[in-house]
Structure 1
Amino acid sequence: MFETLKTILVDKLKISPDQITLEASKEDVELDSLAVVELSLVLEKELGLKISDDELIEVDTVGEIVALMNERSVTV
Structure 2
Amino acid sequence: MSEVLQLNVDGLRPDASREDAGIDSLAVVELSLVLKQHHGMEITDDELFELATLAEIVTLMEQRKRTAA
Unaligned stretches of 5+ residues in structure 1? none
- Deviation sequence 1:7-43 (CA, Å, 0-9, x none): xx2x332211214331111011111111100010111
Structure 1 residue ranges (4+ consecutive) displaced by more than 3 angstroms after TM superposition: none
Unaligned stretches of 5+ residues in structure 2? none
The percentage of counterpart residues that share the same residue type is 49
Whether the aligned pair in 2 keeps the contact of 1:43 and 1:49 (CA below 8 Å) is yes
- Deviation sequence 1:43-69 (CA, Å, 0-9, x none): 112211110000000001110001111
TM-score calculated relative to the size of structure 2: 0.85
Tell me the residue number matched to 1:35: 27
Q: In the TM superposition, what are the counterparts of 1:37-76 in structure 2 within 5 Å?
A: 37-76=29-68
Instruction: Tell me how large the CA RMSD over aligned residues is.
Output: 1.3
